[in-house]
């Protein structure tokens, strides 16, 4: 079977399978086009430098002339007409689909759905070297996927694609097990949806030749990352050796910038490691079916450590066999480290670097913490950790919370003062910390009135996204020094990285990965 495609009209030779050379292993990046390009097609020209293949989702964008595409995209072209039965908007009827495939003439590959596109008319029109046979379905066992692979392999093609939609943690392992089981290099198998999103990064390390990413804002399938994120967060298309797997557990988890931070650190420190984002609706199910699975050991990438974010920090502490002092005092763990019992057993140690996430950025801003009056808004796990970090640094801490009973209990357990949120006077404090989730949505109310914070104070915003939150911007506009959510992530991540790998992550490397300035 040929491993390259030679598109007509002078475009570059495109690798179908990832390179197997020892010096430069790589995956092929496939950009899914789900919105009609502009008249100039300039976005496709830019995409040529970032992706090897362009998947034209004809069920979403209609038919686009092949020659027009070739003038603007230098890689290979894949035609996909995803049916309504498999999550798209294309027809289900085989005859109607066969008629639409006439528009795929001139494409390098055509996606043929195994359940409806393998009739004689379609196969006669699309020669084997241009076929990608695909199947998308609900969560399936390894046995069921083996059967599916035998079915689709009965039709000669250049690539076979099997994608599952898991309903709960653990089901997403089946496609990875299939890759590990078969050792084939002409099979792309992974899981979609939030739960299965992490398998997209692990699959190419097990032989899957392609990785799909969204070309624009509209994803082609649930859980699909953008091409930009595949490159920035995971270093794709490069496939350096991986001997340990790390990740962050949360719900949701797709927004996390931790993969970008930690994977940048691995590249800088020369670590053979990969860090992914695990979306776990149920921590208990994830713990039993993923963490305690022996899959990662068999795949040659045992779990080397886990970050934990909302809402699972208390559950992570309870699951660990032992806990460090900060995790015990804050009532939650943001870090899990495998102990002597091994990753596949229940011998994990719970730690927390969340306090450093608040204290570190303040020190970086030049804030002296001893004897400063600080208020933490929010009495959840993040608020407790912030209060512990500030108190240990010598600040006098108060906790403000909307629900008085919760806030008072947290304050009493930590030896802090309590103030009802509706009675809070922010101007009385030197340091104001937002430890609530307010700010994730731009329409959220402010945690407190930014105009009531004195200009000589400093603030810490635990929420992060693509940039400063509205609350952070309002504070900064008044000249108030603000440590943003990415600053918090950086400092707790630096401590976490060293705890997991035994190596320090340089501040400038971490800051650059998160788009932060290093001068301050």
**Tokens describing residue 340:** 């002597």
Identify the CA nearest to 187 among candidates 200, 203, 166: 203
Give yes or no: residues 53 and 134 share one domain. Answer: yes
Using DSSP, state whether 103 is helix, strand or coil.
helix
Question: Same structural domain for residues 283 and 410?
Answer: no
Per the rule left: phi > 0, alpha: psi between -120 and 50, beta: everything else, 145 is alpha
Sheet holding 273-279, edge to edge: 273-279, 244-250, 303-308, 335-338, 348-351, 322-323
129 carries an active-site annotation: no
DSSP 105-147: TT-SEEEEETTTS-SHHHHHHS-GGGEEEEEEEE---HHHHHH
In a domain, 252, yes or no: no
Q: Do residue 323 and residue 454 come from a single domain?
A: no
- Residue ranges of the chain with per-residue pLDDT less than 70: 1-24, 340-346, 518-520
Residue 502 lies in a domain: no
Residues 22 and 67 in one domain: yes
Of the three residues 330, 352, 374, the one that is the final residue of a domain is 352
- Residue 378 sits in a domain whose CATH number is 3.40.50.720
In this structure, are 168 and 304 located in the same domain?
no
Are 321 and 375 found together in one domain? no
Cα dihedral across residues 256, 260, 263, 264: positive or negative: negative
Positive or negative, the CA dihedral 415, 421, 424, 430 is positive
Q: At which of 319, 352, 385 does a domain end?
A: 352
Q: Are residues 51 and 183 in the same domain?
A: yes
Quick check: is 251 in a domain? no
413 shares a domain with 275: no
**Annotated active-site residue in 129, 244, 313, 503:** 313
Instruction: State the Cα–Cα distance between residues 449 and 144, nearest whole angstrom.
Output: 57
Rounded to the nearest integer, the mean pLDDT of the chain is 92
**Confidence (pLDDT) at 16:** 58
Same domain, residue pair 73 and 163: yes
Check residue 520 and give its pLDDT.
Answer: 45
Structural domain count, the chain: 3
Question: Which among 204, 239, 274 is the end of a domain?
Answer: 239
422 shares a domain with 335? no
Beta carbons within 10 angstroms of residue 200's beta carbon: 26
In a 13 Å sphere around the CA of 81, the CA atoms on its Cβ side amount to: 23
Is 497 inside a domain boundary?
no
Is residue 499, in this structure, part of any structural domain at all? no
Residue 245 lies in a domain: no
The answer as to whether 40 is a domain residue is: yes
> Residue 256 domain-assigned?
no
The CATH number that applies at residue 308 is: 3.40.50.10860
Same domain, 279 and 202: no
Is 264 exposed, middle or buried, given 0-12, 13-18 or 19+ CB atoms closer than 10 A? buried
The CATH number of residue 105's host domain is 3.20.20.70
SS3 at position 401: strand
Which structural domain, as residue segments, surrounds residue 287?
262-352
- Tell whether 211 and 76 lie within a shared domain: yes
């Amino acid at each position: 079977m040929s491993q390259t495609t030679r598109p007509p009209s002078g475009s570059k030779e495109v690798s179908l399978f990832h390179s197997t050379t020892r010096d430069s292993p790589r995956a092929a990046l496939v950009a899914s086009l789900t919105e009609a390009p502009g008249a100039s097609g300039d976005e496709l020209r830019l995409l040529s430098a970032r992706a090897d293949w362009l998947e034209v989702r004809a069920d979403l964008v209609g038919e686009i002339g092949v020659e027009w595409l070739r003038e603007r995209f230098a890689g290979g072209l894949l035609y996909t007409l995803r049916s309504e039965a498999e999550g798209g908007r294309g027809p289900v009827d085989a005859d109607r689909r066969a008629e639409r495939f006439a528009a795929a003439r001139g494409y390098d590959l055509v996606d043929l759905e195994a359940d409806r596109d393998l009739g004689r008319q379609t196969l006669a029109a699309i020669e084997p070297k241009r076929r990608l046979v695909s199947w998308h379905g609900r969560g399936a066992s390894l046995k069921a996927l083996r059967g599916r692979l035998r079915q689709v392999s009965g039709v000669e093609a250049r690539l076979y694609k099997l994608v599952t939609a898991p309903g709960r943690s653990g089901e997403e392992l089946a496609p990875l097990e299939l890759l590990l089981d078969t050792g084939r290099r002409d099979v792309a198998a992974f899981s979609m949806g939030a739960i299965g999103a992490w398998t997209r990064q692990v699959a190419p390390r097990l032989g899957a030749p392609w990785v799909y990413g969204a070309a624009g804002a509209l994803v082609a399938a649930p859980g699909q990352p953008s091409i930009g994120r595949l490159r920035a967060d995971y270093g794709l298309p490069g496939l350096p050796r991986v001997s340990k797997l790390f990740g962050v557990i949360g719900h949701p988890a797709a927004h996390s910038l931790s993969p970008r931070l930690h994977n940048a650190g691995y590249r800088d420190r020369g670590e053979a490691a990969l860090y992914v984002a695990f979306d776990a609706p149920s921590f208990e199910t994830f713990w039993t079916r993923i963490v305690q699975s022996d899959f990662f050991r068999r795949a040659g990438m045992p779990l080397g450590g886990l970050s934990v974010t909302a809402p699972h920090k208390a559950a992570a502490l309870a699951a660990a066999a032992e806990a460090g002092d900060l995790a015990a005092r804050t009532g939650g763990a943001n870090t899990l480290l495998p102990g002597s019992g091994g990753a596949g057993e229940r011998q994990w140690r719970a730690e927390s670097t969340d306090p450093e996430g608040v204290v570190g950025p303040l020190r970086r801003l030049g804030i002296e913490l001893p004897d400063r009056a600080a208020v933490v808004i929010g009495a959840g796990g993040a608020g407790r950790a912030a209060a512990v970090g500030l108190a240990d640094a010598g600040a006098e801490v108060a906790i403000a919370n909307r629900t008085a009973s919760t806030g008072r209990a947290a304050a009493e357990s930590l030896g802090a003062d309590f103030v009802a949120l509706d009675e809070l006077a922010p101007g009385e404090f030197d340091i104001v910390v937002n430890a609530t989730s307010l700010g994730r949505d731009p329409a959220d109310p402010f945690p407190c009135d930014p105009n009531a914070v004195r200009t000589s104070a400093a603030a810490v915003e635990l929420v992060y996204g693509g940039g400063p939150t509205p609350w952070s911007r309002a504070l900064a506009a008044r000249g108030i020094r603000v440590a943003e959510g990415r600053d918090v992530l950086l400092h707790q991540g630096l401590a976490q990285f060293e705890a997991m790998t035994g190596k320090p992550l340089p501040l400038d490397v971490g800051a650059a990965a998160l788009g932060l300035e290093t001068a301050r």
